[in-house]
Structure 1
């Protein structure tokens, strides 16, 4: 089965660029996430982290 798939993959021209593009997208996402985490305002992080503990919007059914 693997030889069958590999044979078809070899016949596709330019297929070697897809793993490189996937790696760049993956790496870029985590670099941007890392940058956002360290540049986010501490007040915003505190407000967002307290949302689950905020009882003002809870309704008893």
Structure 2
């Protein structure tokens, strides 16, 4: 199966850029997520933590 895919991929011009782009997108996503986690306001995090614990009556008010 891999030989079949590899054979077709070798015939595509410029195919070597796709793994680089994929790695760059992966890296930038997690760097952005890491940055957001450390810069998020503590009040916002605390509010998000308590959402599952609120009762339906509290949400209607």
TM-score by length of 1: 0.85
Q: Which runs of 5+ in 1 are unaligned?
A: none
Give distance in 2, aligned partners of 1:24 and 1:12. Answer: 21
Q: Which runs of 5+ in 2 are unaligned?
A: none
RMSD: 1.3
Q: Name the structure 2 match of 1:57.
A: 59
Give distance in 2, aligned partners of 1:44 and 1:2. Answer: 47
TM-score by length of 2: 0.85
Secondary structure of the corresponding residue to residue 15 of structure 2: coil
Q: Name the structure 1 match of 2:19.
A: 19
